[in-house]
Amino acid sequence: MEPSPKPPPFKAGTRLRYLGTRDASYEVGGKMVPVVRPGLEVLVVKVHPGRRGTGRTMFTSSEPFKDETEDGYSVYEAPGGARACIDPGDEGEWEALGPPSKAKGDADHEKQESQV
Protein backbone atom coordinates (compact mmCIF):
# COMPACT_ATOMS: atom_id res chain seq x y z
CA MET A 1 0.00 0.00 0.00
CA GLU A 2 1.22 3.46 -0.87
CA PRO A 3 1.58 6.21 1.77
CA SER A 4 -1.28 8.64 2.43
CA PRO A 5 -1.25 11.77 0.23
CA LYS A 6 -0.02 15.07 1.63
CA PRO A 7 -2.87 17.59 1.99
CA PRO A 8 -3.19 20.71 -0.16
CA PRO A 9 -1.11 23.53 1.37
CA PHE A 10 -3.92 26.18 1.35
CA LYS A 11 -7.72 26.09 1.55
CA ALA A 12 -9.97 27.52 -1.15
CA GLY A 13 -10.70 31.21 -0.52
CA THR A 14 -7.24 31.97 0.93
CA ARG A 15 -5.57 35.16 -0.34
CA LEU A 16 -1.80 34.76 -0.76
CA ARG A 17 1.26 36.87 -1.52
CA TYR A 18 4.23 35.28 -3.29
CA LEU A 19 7.49 35.68 -1.34
CA GLY A 20 9.79 33.68 -3.60
CA THR A 21 12.05 34.78 -6.44
CA ARG A 22 10.57 33.02 -9.46
CA ASP A 23 9.07 35.13 -12.25
CA ALA A 24 6.85 33.54 -14.90
CA SER A 25 3.92 34.52 -17.14
CA TYR A 26 1.29 32.63 -19.14
CA GLU A 27 -0.55 33.69 -22.26
CA VAL A 28 -4.23 34.25 -21.46
CA GLY A 29 -6.60 35.64 -24.07
CA GLY A 30 -3.74 36.65 -26.36
CA LYS A 31 -1.77 38.62 -23.74
CA MET A 32 0.94 37.65 -21.28
CA VAL A 33 -0.11 37.81 -17.63
CA PRO A 34 2.07 37.11 -14.59
CA VAL A 35 1.39 33.82 -12.84
CA VAL A 36 4.19 34.07 -10.28
CA ARG A 37 6.53 36.92 -9.35
CA PRO A 38 7.73 38.48 -6.10
CA GLY A 39 4.90 40.33 -4.35
CA LEU A 40 2.11 38.94 -6.58
CA GLU A 41 -1.21 38.55 -4.72
CA VAL A 42 -3.49 35.68 -5.72
CA LEU A 43 -6.61 33.82 -4.58
CA VAL A 44 -6.82 30.06 -4.04
CA VAL A 45 -9.90 29.07 -6.07
CA LYS A 46 -9.95 25.30 -5.56
CA VAL A 47 -8.02 22.40 -4.10
CA HIS A 48 -7.33 18.84 -5.12
CA PRO A 49 -7.15 16.55 -2.06
CA GLY A 50 -4.90 13.95 -3.67
CA ARG A 51 -5.39 10.22 -3.70
CA ARG A 52 -3.73 7.21 -2.19
CA GLY A 53 -2.25 4.82 -4.72
CA THR A 54 -2.48 1.07 -4.47
CA GLY A 55 1.18 0.37 -5.21
CA ARG A 56 0.08 -2.21 -7.79
CA THR A 57 1.36 -2.43 -11.30
CA MET A 58 -1.35 -1.31 -13.70
CA PHE A 59 -1.48 -1.88 -17.43
CA THR A 60 -2.51 0.28 -20.35
CA SER A 61 -2.37 -0.49 -24.03
CA SER A 62 1.22 0.78 -24.18
CA GLU A 63 3.19 0.13 -20.99
CA PRO A 64 2.79 -0.97 -17.38
CA PHE A 65 2.92 1.69 -14.65
CA LYS A 66 2.79 1.76 -10.86
CA ASP A 67 -0.37 3.22 -9.25
CA GLU A 68 1.32 5.75 -6.95
CA THR A 69 -0.01 8.21 -4.40
CA GLU A 70 -0.76 11.70 -5.74
CA ASP A 71 -0.38 14.51 -3.20
CA GLY A 72 -3.01 17.23 -2.88
CA TYR A 73 -2.44 20.72 -4.26
CA SER A 74 -3.99 24.19 -4.20
CA VAL A 75 -5.01 25.98 -7.41
CA TYR A 76 -4.78 29.77 -7.45
CA GLU A 77 -5.89 32.44 -9.86
CA ALA A 78 -3.61 35.41 -10.48
CA PRO A 79 -4.74 38.84 -11.71
CA GLY A 80 -5.45 38.51 -15.43
CA GLY A 81 -6.96 35.03 -15.11
CA ALA A 82 -3.88 32.80 -15.17
CA ARG A 83 -4.12 29.73 -12.92
CA ALA A 84 -1.36 27.64 -11.40
CA CYS A 85 -0.83 25.11 -8.61
CA ILE A 86 0.96 25.15 -5.26
CA ASP A 87 2.26 21.75 -4.21
CA PRO A 88 2.91 20.60 -0.64
CA GLY A 89 6.40 21.73 0.28
CA ASP A 90 6.09 25.02 -1.65
CA GLU A 91 3.90 26.74 0.94
CA GLY A 92 6.97 28.44 2.45
CA GLU A 93 7.15 30.66 -0.66
CA TRP A 94 3.69 32.10 0.10
CA GLU A 95 2.25 34.33 2.82
CA ALA A 96 -1.43 33.92 3.76
CA LEU A 97 -3.04 37.37 3.91
CA GLY A 98 -5.93 36.29 6.11
CA PRO A 99 -8.21 33.35 6.84
CA PRO A 100 -10.02 31.67 3.97
CA SER A 101 -13.15 33.46 2.82
CA LYS A 102 -16.07 31.93 1.01
CA ALA A 103 -14.86 31.96 -2.59
CA LYS A 104 -15.95 30.41 -5.83
CA GLY A 105 -13.83 27.31 -5.15
CA ASP A 106 -15.21 26.48 -1.70
CA ALA A 107 -18.05 24.24 -2.88
CA ASP A 108 -15.57 22.16 -4.91
CA HIS A 109 -13.20 22.01 -1.94
CA GLU A 110 -15.89 20.86 0.51
CA LYS A 111 -17.14 18.24 -1.95
CA GLN A 112 -13.60 16.92 -2.53
CA GLU A 113 -12.81 16.81 1.21
CA SER A 114 -15.94 14.77 1.88
CA GLN A 115 -14.77 12.20 -0.71
CA VAL A 116 -11.38 11.64 0.99
Query: Tens-digit pLDDT profile for the chain (116 aa)?
Result: 789 999 999 999 999 999 999 999 999 889 999 999 999 999 999 999 999 999 999 887 788 988 999 999 999 999 999 999 999 999 999 999 987 876 454 444 444 444 44
Q: How many CA atoms lie within 13 A of 81 on its CB side?
A: 6
Q: How many CA atoms lie within 13 A of 38 on its CB side?
A: 2
Contact 87, 9 (CB under 8 A): yes
Domain spans, the chain: 15-103
Output the pLDDT for position 36.
95
pTM: predicted TM-score of the whole model, two decimal places: 0.78
Residue 29 to residues 26, 32, 43, Cα–Cα distance (Å)? 10, 8, 20
Longest pairwise C-alpha distance within the chain: 48
